[in-house]
């Protein structure tokens, strides 16, 4: 079992590199995947929103929660290979059978360490 504080401390970045850090090891691609479905009554309510317009708040909340969960699973996967950071994180999404939504968070698992430049102290992880 992985230490939750270690998993939560994994740095996730959409950048290709981290200013002030150097990559010491590349573990490779990791991902976190979540597939969710709304119940039938929510889908009916959302159908009315397409007629009258406006935000479909239930779906917004569902997708926000799903993205957070996908990133959590991404961090767990990176921790399981020994990484302390994920670079180039991206989201991908899809729909199955018109009622299920898939969200994948993916990136490159790496180990990084601070670079100290002529007396400067880089932030620590």
Residue 47 predicted with pLDDT over 60: no
| CB-based contacts of 124, cutoff 8 Å, min separation 6 | 114
Task: Please report the pLDDT score of residue 53 as a whole number.
Answer: 61
**Ranges of each domain in the chain:** 4-114
Tell me the CATH number for domain 4-114: 3.30.110.70
Note the pLDDT tens digit of each residue in 55-70: 667 777 888 899 999 9
The pair of structure tokens assigned to 64 is 């926000």
Residues 80 and 5: their CA atoms lie apart, in Å, by 13
Mean pLDDT, rounded, of the chain: 84
């Amino acid at each position: 079992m992985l230490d939750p504080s270690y998993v939560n401390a994994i740095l996730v970045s959409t950048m290709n590199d981290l200013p002030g850090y150097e990559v010491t090891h590349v573990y490779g691609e990791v991902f976190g995947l979540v597939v969710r479905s709304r119940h039938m009554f929510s889908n009916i309510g959302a159908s009315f929103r397409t007629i009258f317009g406006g935000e479909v708040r239930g779906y917004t909340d569902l997708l926000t929660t799903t993205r957070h969960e996908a990133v959590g699973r991404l961090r767990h996967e990176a921790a399981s290979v020994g990484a302390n950071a994920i670079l180039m994180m991206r989201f991908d999404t899809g729909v199955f059978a018109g009622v299920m939504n898939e969200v994948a968070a993916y990136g490159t698992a790496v180990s990084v360490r601070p670079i100290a430049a002529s007396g400067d102290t880089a932030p620590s992880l």
